[in-house]
């Protein structure tokens, strides 16, 4: 029941429950979603599109399908969007479950099929889910292309034909259709953010920076990693974030070298570093910010040496960020910096300890999907720049991650308000204990 409750709470205030008087609707979100549907229909004009709001769960909470949400601004579980370009019938129809007053006593009011919901979502038509098979029969050519949001699979490539659970129903409705993945076309659109989206990400970043600042009093010898996690997530929720965009990483000492450590239960000691990689989700949009702090408040000489190499690598990577550039030269700049400075205990260069990519796109998902890995950056894209060095035999892990907006002439660091230099980090920690 908890998860069902969350389905109505998780985006409350932005999109929800618009059929209920008293619940605010977000007409700007509706307008955004409408513009996205128009842009999408221009790209996917050769078939019908069917997007399911598959109810998947993350961190035990209901999370709407982000592609569905992107095109509808609606997060009703089980809802389905049908887009039919070029037909005489309405080009866009949302299908919702009929309301069930008895169920609503338990899980709260839901959006209802009908004109009122259509008006408030800016959708041509909102019908009941039972009407979906008939509408498909009328509007989808039996042997035509159907773009759907297919479940993620390890061997699925763009354009692959596929029919996996729970898309079996779709196969039953349209046994001869060519079912294709709508993901790449949607990712293409999602990669470039509107002003409205950039503002949401900026808010997520702001909340995440506050989380980092409020983490500092909880960092110290004898304190537990989870105290830091709690201090951060308290800030997230009390500043209006829906939830952490991903499991918060607070990794100290030996845990600092584990990239996706999420246990957060070790007691920190003097001399440790602690890597804090966290992000708030605000109105659907994610931030992703990493800083590395010395538990005692001061870096050792060795820690500072490596810290400064990571910082230089980040600066070198940032210098590459501008429209027209791919991640390849950005990563190369970071890797070359790391590999050309400093040594491990065996006297070897440090490139071998930089074991992940330098960045990814950021948006409705913390690792936002891309239509094509080689697509050059454009103004309005938001990416992370996050080099790191992880030397297990020294219990030395350092990552610095910022969120960066690509602009017409370069970039703007959305998280520039959070100090990055070793000296600033030490000063900030001194002020907060």
* CB nearer to Mn ion: pick between 283 and 386: 386
Stretch 165-194 residues interacting with Mn ion (CB under 5 A)? none
Given 3-state DSSP classes, what are the helix, strand and coil percentages for the chain, each rounded to the nearest 5?
Answer: 40, 20, 45
* 384 lies in the binding site for Mn ion (CB under 5 A): yes
Q: Which helix (H) or strand (E) holds 50?
A: strand 47-52
The window from 201-209, 241-249, 287-295, 403-411 that contacts Mn ion (CB under 5 A) reads: 287-295
298: exposed, middle or buried (C-beta count within 10 Å: 0-12, 13-18, 19+)?
middle
Residues that bind Mn ion (rule: CB under 5 A) add up to a total of 2
Match 């919901």 to its residue by tokens: 117
175: exposed, middle or buried (C-beta count within 10 Å: 0-12, 13-18, 19+)?
exposed
The window from 54-62, 203-211, 241-249, 382-390 that contacts Mn ion (CB under 5 A) reads: 382-390
How near is the Cβ of 365 to Mn ion at its closest, in Å?
11
* CB nearer to Mn ion: pick between 294 and 387: 387
The window from 146-154, 191-199, 286-294, 412-420 that contacts Mn ion (CB under 5 A) reads: 286-294
What are the tokens at 394?
A: 């020294």
* 242 lies in the binding site for Mn ion (CB under 5 A): no
The window from 4-12, 233-241, 246-254, 285-293 that contacts Mn ion (CB under 5 A) reads: 285-293
How near is the Cβ of 286 to Mn ion at its closest, in Å?
9
CB 352 within 8 A of CB 331: no
Give the end-to-end CA distance of the chain in Å, rounded to a whole number.
Answer: 41
* 288 lies in the binding site for Mn ion (CB under 5 A): yes
For the chain, what is the largest distance between any 2 Cα atoms, rounded to a whole number of angstroms?
72
CB 400 within 8 A of CB 290: yes
* CB nearer to Mn ion: pick between 173 and 246: 246
How near is the Cβ of 289 to Mn ion at its closest, in Å?
8
The window from 106-114, 123-131, 281-289, 307-315 that contacts Mn ion (CB under 5 A) reads: 281-289
* CB nearer to Mn ion: pick between 17 and 249: 249
The rounded distance, in Å, linking the Cα atoms of 286 and 202 is 9
Q: Is the alpha carbon torsion for 132, 138, 144, 145 positive or negative?
A: negative
List contacts with Mn ion (CB under 5 A). 288, 384
């Amino acid at each position: 029941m908890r998860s069902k409750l969350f389905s109505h709470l998780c985006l409350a205030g932005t999109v929800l429950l618009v059929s209920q008087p008293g619940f605010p609707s977000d007409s700007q979100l509706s307008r955004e979603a409408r513009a996205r549907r128009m842009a999408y229909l221009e790209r996917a004009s050769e078939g019908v599109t069917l997007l399911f709001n598959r109810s998947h769960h993350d961190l035990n909470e209901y999370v709407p399908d982000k592609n569905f949400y992107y095109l509808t601004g609606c997060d009703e579980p089980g809802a389905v969007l049908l887009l039919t370009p070029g037909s005489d019938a309405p080009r866009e129809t949302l299908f919702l479950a009929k309301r069930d007053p008895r169920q609503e006593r338990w899980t709260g009011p839901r959006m209802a099929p009908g004109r009122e919901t259509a008006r408030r979502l800016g959708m041509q038509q909102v019908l009941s889910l039972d009407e979906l098979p008939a509408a498909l029969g009328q509007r989808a050519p039996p042997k035509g292309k159907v773009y759907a949001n297919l479940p993620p699979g390890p061997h699925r490539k763009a354009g692959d034909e596929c029919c996996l659970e729970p898309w079996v129903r779709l196969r039953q409705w349209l046994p001869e259709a060519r079912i294709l993945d709508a993901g790449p076309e949607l990712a293409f659109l999602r990669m470039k953010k509107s002003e409205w989206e950039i503002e949401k990400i900026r808010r997520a970043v702001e909340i995440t920076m506050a989380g980092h600042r409020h983490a500092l009093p909880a960092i110290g010898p004898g304190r537990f990693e989870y105290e830091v996690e709690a201090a951060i997530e308290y800030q997230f929720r009390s500043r209006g974030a829906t939830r952490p965009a991903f499991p918060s990483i607070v990794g100290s000492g030996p845990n600092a070298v584990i990239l996706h450590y999420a246990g957060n239960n070790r007691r920190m000691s003097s001399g440790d570093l602690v890597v804090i990689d966290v992000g708030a989700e605000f109105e659907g949009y994610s931030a992703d910010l990493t800083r590395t702090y010395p538990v005692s408040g001061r870096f050792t000489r060795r820690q500072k040496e490596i810290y400064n190499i990571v910082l230089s690598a980040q600066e070198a990577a940032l210098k590459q960020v501008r429209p027209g550039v791919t991640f390849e030269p950005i990563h190369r700049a970071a890797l070359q910096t790391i590999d050309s400075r400093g040594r491990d205990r065996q006297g070897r260069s440090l490139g071998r300890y930089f074991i992940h990519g330098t960045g990814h796109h950021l948006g409705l998902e913390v690792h936002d999907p891309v239509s094509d890995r080689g697509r050059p950056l454009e103004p309005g894209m938001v990416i992370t720049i996050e080099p790191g060095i992880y030397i297990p035999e020294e219990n030395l892990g350092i990552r610095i991650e910022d969120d960066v907006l690509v602009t017409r002439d370069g970039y703007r660091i959305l998280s520039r308000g959070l100090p990055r230099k070793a000296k600033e980090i030490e000063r900030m920690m001194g002020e907060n204990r």
